[in-house]
Amino acid sequence: MNTYPIKLTYHVRSYSFGERLIPEMLGKQSAPDGVVAETWEVSDYRDARATVTNGEYAGRSLHDLVEEFPEELVGQGWSGPHFPLLEKFLDASHMLPVHLHPDDETARAKHGEPHGKSEAWHILWAAEGATILAGIKEGFSRDDLFEAFKAEDYDAVMPRREIRTGDTVYVPGGVLHTFGPDTLIFEVQQTSDLGQFVMPTDLYNNRLSDEEWDANINATLDELKTDFMPHPNPGLVVEDGTNRRVLCCAGPYFALERWTLTVPHEEPSRPRRCMTLSNVGGPVEIEHEGGVERLDRAESCVLPAAIGELRIVPDDETSLVVCYVPDLGRDVISPLRETGYSDEEIRSLGEVGI
């Protein structure tokens, strides 16, 4: 594989919870007119598969490259049906539907798909007083939950927590959740779009029949998990010199970091895993063995596992959201313990297995 930073087309979803935060606040000037609720920045999912826009592989799909170069692109020893990460910018100008996504076991048994959808939300901007609802309070039966959902009284059964810019919320498959209004996030997730909803309208605010609504609530309750309570987390600072690196969340399917760069950053060769960069600050140049690629604000790219050493050079100060599929022991637990964090602090990042 000829390795270089791979830039991709993005897919737009115009769900009713969105407005224009992605082009107007984040600065994604190429976004179309009208509602831009989500831009899928890195996607190998079914009808939303991204196409390469730069370099030798321009015009080919990300899926093609995954099939032809699984280890060079994704990581040594990796194999799978598609690129393992799906990443998006998401505008929650209005409240999202109250919903969940299945875990792996449910996705395979009930939906015939290879895995479910754990996800995390990194808060790029939240208005003062913005909140999330995530998880289920203790002590409620299935009938109690059904009645609360029919009454649209979600606060009765779900904890509400305030979020701030820079927080991250890790949400495993099977956990009921919503957020908004007045929130702009970066979301990383497993490559899936399965979901169950308990609200009386669909994603485009069309009213459902009572029969459809009841069926949706029951399907959600069938898949509901109550053994994890998501919390907003400011992350754990790994480096805090001229440049700053914060490990925001981690689990078996993805890790998310936030880098703030004011001087060039040297990134070593990591042949066991690829990385994605999403730029939420000023422009950067990515210097690699084969040349230089520029990444502007609100753009994303995939850095193949085999790309070798990199140098990321900001024009001025910039901020990057960095995602990868971690080896939890090597990439998360050991370096955080070496930095001095307790196991309890490390566990707060998501599902790290300690």
Using CA atoms in the order 172, 318, 63, 52, what is the torsion angle rounded to 10 degrees? 160
Query: pLDDT at position 65, please?
Result: 98
What residue ranges of the chain have pLDDT lower than 70? none
41 and 120 share one domain: yes
208 and 322 share one domain: no
Query: pLDDT at position 242, please?
Result: 96
Q: How many whole angstroms separate alpha carbon 38 and alpha carbon 87? A: 10
For 85, the domain range is 6-223
How many other CB atoms are found less than 10 A from the CB of residue 66?
Answer: 20
- φ, ψ (nearest 5 deg) of residue 21: -65, -35
Q: Is 62 part of any domain?
A: yes
Spatial CB neighbours of 157, under 8 Å, sequence gap ≥ 6: 136, 137, 140, 144, 145, 148
Tokens standing for residue 4: 């270089």
Query: pLDDT at position 91, please?
Result: 98
Query: pLDDT at position 103, please?
Result: 98
38 and 168 share one domain: yes
Query: pLDDT at position 223, please?
Result: 98
Spatial CB neighbours of 75, under 8 Å, sequence gap ≥ 6: 271, 272, 273, 274, 305, 325
The residues facing 245 across adjacent strands are 239, 259
Q: Is 230 part of any domain?
A: no
Q: Is 190 part of any domain?
A: yes
pTM of the model: 0.97
Domain count, the chain: 2
Which of 287, 254, 268, 298 lies closest to 5 in space, CA to CA?
287
DSSP letter assigned to residue 32: P
Final residue before a domain boundary, out of 201, 223, 245: 223
Query: pLDDT at position 197, please?
Result: 97
Final residue before a domain boundary, out of 189, 223, 257: 223
Q: Is 311 part of any domain?
A: yes
Query: pLDDT at position 85, please?
Result: 98
User: In one letter, which amino acid is 102?
Assistant: P
